[in-house]
Amino acid sequence: EAGVTQSPTHLIKTRGQQATLRCSPISGHTSVYWYQQALGLGLQFLLWYDEGEERNRGNFPPRFSGRQFPNYSSELNVNALELEDSALYLCASSLDSYSGNTIYFGEGSWLTVV
C-alpha cells in the first residue's frame, strides 16, 4: 500500500514568488495535515483539511493557504515567499477526522527561498 506521497521533492524559489506543494494521502484516508519543519524550530502545525474543508489552522500568516480536492489530495500554497519560509514541508494523513492522533507523514518537500 502506498504511503503519503508529496511533490516536488525539492523546490527553489526566489523571495516574493509563490510556491505550490502537493500531497496525496494514503488510500482511504480523508484527513490531510500540513506541517512545517524549519531548522531549529521543530515541526509546526500549518493546516488540517478533512472532506474538502479547512478544519484547523496553525499560527501562520494568511499567505500560507491550501485546499483539498474531491479525491482527498491536497495542495499547499505559499505566497510572497520570504527567506524564513525555507523549510521541509511535511504532509500527513489520517483515516478520518476522528483519527487525528495517529497521522502518517510523507517524505516532505524541501523548499528553499533565495
Per CB under 8 A, residues contacting other proteins are 4, 31, 33, 40-45, 48, 55-56, 58, 90, 94, 97-98, 100-108
**SS3 annotation, the chain:** CCCCEEECCEEEECCCCCEEEEEECCCCCCEEEEEEEECCCEEEEEEEEECCEEEEECCCCCCEEEEECCCCCEEEEECCCCHHHCEEEEEEEECCCCCCCCCEECCCEEEEEC
As measured in angstroms, the least distance from the Cβ of 58 to other proteins is 7
- Residue placing its CB nearer to other proteins in the complex, 41 or 80: 41
As measured in angstroms, the least distance from the Cβ of 24 to other proteins is 13
As measured in angstroms, the least distance from the Cβ of 16 to other proteins is 27
